[in-house]
Structure 1
Amino acid sequence: MDLNLVDSYDYHLPPNLIANAPLMPKESARLLVYEREKNKISHLKFGDLAEILPPCEIIFNDTKVIKARIFGAKSSGGKIELLLNSPLNDNKFSAYIRGRVSVGSELVFDKNLRARVVECCEDGLRVVEFSRDNRALSSHEIFALTDEIGHVPLPPYIKREDTKDDESWYQSIFAREAGAVAAPTASLHFSEEMLRALRANHGIYYITLHVGAGTFKPVEARDLREHKMHSEFYSIAQDTADILKSDKKILGVGTTVTRTVENFARNSARCGACELFLHPNNPPIRQNYLLTNFHLPKSTLIMLVASFIGLEKTLEIYREAVEQKYRFYSYGDGMIIL
């Protein structure tokens, strides 16, 4: 099994195991537990986490998902769909646009929001500049407008339109820093009751990484060493940075936290662009434990899981999860590596 071949990270998932909505209450979701020292797999509920978690500090991602999908039309005619990706300098945004556009295309949306395409990138992204009443808009103004006219950017494998319920379902209870276009989905399982139980014996800290649409981008290279990782903005509060510099054990809740923690471990930068790609040949050097959902075959996210426990064990766990009929992906169940 070649660790560098993307095809090595494939597995079979019956479509009926893809979750289209979360379980309620949140802590009723299932949790697969893998203990490395014992080489043991067990099956619990998320609500059991406080009882089984060893001494450690817990780090969450407090990014907030914006209503990043907006529908409009070209000023010349023809419908388009725009998915915000991330803010850029000079009040510009990178975005994915469904519908044929070129540099100079003018796009019109509700609330008199307009966008002009200023660059078409080779990776499918478009750079756009938003305005309203002939005035350029800041990212905060755009977020406020999309909150009125936009839609929750559900992942492409959820084959339905977003609903009002998704506005709370697809958001963690501690989301506060607006800017993500995809949720840090391991965090979706946590209720206030769970946080209270965890705080009794564990410190809780936060980072911010604004998840971009690139998280769903397939790995198109045959060899993962040729894959160019997408870039996402992150920031780390000083108290969190202090914990990361200590020798205390760390549980990262989700792959976004993990990449941020490991990025900091490599360059000590508390903010910037995270482009770190973790895989078995580039394993973690700081984070001890990982809590995460189940991920797409051949994705950078399943490769990140394999960076903790190896490819063979990762595929074994995923086969077990399929056999046990776990619910997969963003609204699904999860696993913890201890």
Structure 2
Amino acid sequence: MRSAELDYDLPPELIAQHPPRRRDASRLLVYERETGAVRHRTFADLPGELRGELVVVNDTRVVPARLRLRRESGGEAEVLLLEPLGDGAWEALARPSRRLRPGERLGAVELLEPLGGGRWRVRLDGEPAGEPPLPPYIREPLADPARYQTVYAGEPGSAAAPTAGLHFTPELLARLDVERVTLHVGLDTFRPLAVDELERHELHGERYRVEPQAWERIRVAGRVLAVGTTTVRVLETVARDGVLEGRTSLYVLPGFDFRRVDALLTNFHLPRSTLLALVMAFAGVAQTRELYRLAVEERYRFYSFGDAMLIL
């Protein structure tokens, strides 16, 4: 499949720059795969749209991982912590990468070695104490950092939020049958496609964990709703190999055989992204293109702080 097939036209003003006043006040586009029916709802209407699904969420917590630093020369530098490696070491993105050198100190960060593609192994003194790692397309400051966390966030470990979960409130969760898994979102989730053919894109893998009792509930459930693409990758990884903790580099493309995901809740994703490819694999390529065209026409809000889509 060509990467160009994941392109679509999006007016810049539809890229959400801030979250809605209430989490569950965002809009919800509902698509039924069997009938082709489409409905325009609000997220608070989600319980009424479900068919008895077990709702599975990714409970990772975003690390305050964006560190704005200064070089000893006085120049500005930035480090985005991606994943802890143990003993105070992290994998990170650092810039200006080409000007940086191993052994250089940037405040609480020591650069250890370049890993290629702007990635570095670094050592951090203490715990991360930076800003929420908002994507570059969000240009307005975030008034409340808690709005880039889900209300059910648990163990810290992510360099980006599992954004489909940002719409839930405690009150809404209480009306649903919910189970948790964990995938710590790293570079793979938001790294854009840089190849002409999707199959040539390489995933480096991200850490996940599923508790045995959680997997048993998920395994025997009549229907499972995956909240977000990261949850899909966990569920389909475990459904294939039965391993409840490790790293997954599962790459979901059109033609994929879904074994444990029956419905998908997701935000609207960037063009030429592995996330959009996953949605196309679940809903169909032509159907996803039409849904995105309709979302633009109906002025839905896109990306991290945008609206959501429920695919049944």
Which deviations, in whole Å up to 9, do the C-alpha atoms of 1:247-304 show, x marking residues without a partner?
5211000111111111111111111112111111324221110000000011100100
1:310 aligned residue: 284
2:73 and 2:243 map into 1 onto residues whose CA distance is 45
Displacement of 1:52 in angstroms is 1.4
1:105 aligned residue: 103
1:180-259 → structure 2 map (5 Å cutoff): 180-198=158-176, 203-259=177-233
* Residue pair 2:18, 2:142 contacting (<8 A) in 1 also: no
Displacement of 1:119 in angstroms is 1.9
Does 1:130 pair with 2:124?
yes
Displacement of 1:309 in angstroms is 1.6
Does 1:163 pair with 2:137?
no
Task: In structure 2, give the amino acid aligned to 1:13.
Answer: L
* Residue pair 2:158, 2:185 contacting (<8 A) in 1 also: yes
Q: How many residue pairs are counted as aligned between the two chains?
A: 311
Q: 1:236 to 1:101 in 2, by over 3 A?
A: farther
* Residue pair 1:7, 1:222 contacting (<8 A) in 2 also: yes
1:172 aligned to which of 128, 150, 156 = 150
Displacement of 1:79 in angstroms is 1.8
Q: What CA RMSD, in Å, does the superposition of the two structures yield over aligned residues?
A: 1.5
Task: In structure 1, give the amino acid aligned to 2:142.
Answer: T
Displacement of 1:164 in angstroms is 3.7
* Residue pair 1:82, 1:95 contacting (<8 A) in 2 also: yes
TM-score, length-scaled by structure 2 = 0.95
Identity of paired residues, percent? Answer: 41
* Residue pair 2:62, 2:158 contacting (<8 A) in 1 also: yes
Structure 2 alignment gaps of length 5 or more: none
Secondary structure at 2:280 match in 1: helix
2:76 aligned residue: 79
Task: In structure 2, give the amino acid aligned to 1:163.
Answer: L
Which deviations, in whole Å up to 9, do the C-alpha atoms of 1:217-275 show, x marking residues without a partner?
11001011100014211111122211233252110001111111111111111111121
2:118 and 2:250 map into 1 onto residues whose CA distance is 21
2:113 aligned residue: 119
Range 279-288 or range 267-276, more displaced: 279-288
Displacement of 1:28 in angstroms is 1.4
* Residue pair 1:278, 1:284 contacting (<8 A) in 2 also: no
1:142 aligned to which of 124, 127, 137 = 127
Task: In structure 2, give the amino acid aligned to 1:33.
Answer: V
2:249 aligned to which of 244, 269, 275 = 275
* Residue pair 2:56, 2:178 contacting (<8 A) in 1 also: yes
1:26 aligned residue: 23
Secondary structure at 2:175 match in 1: helix
Does 1:95 pair with 2:99?
no
* Residue pair 1:254, 1:293 contacting (<8 A) in 2 also: yes
Secondary structure at 1:197 match in 2: coil
Task: In structure 1, give the amino acid aligned to 2:273.
Answer: S
Displacement of 1:101 in angstroms is 4.2
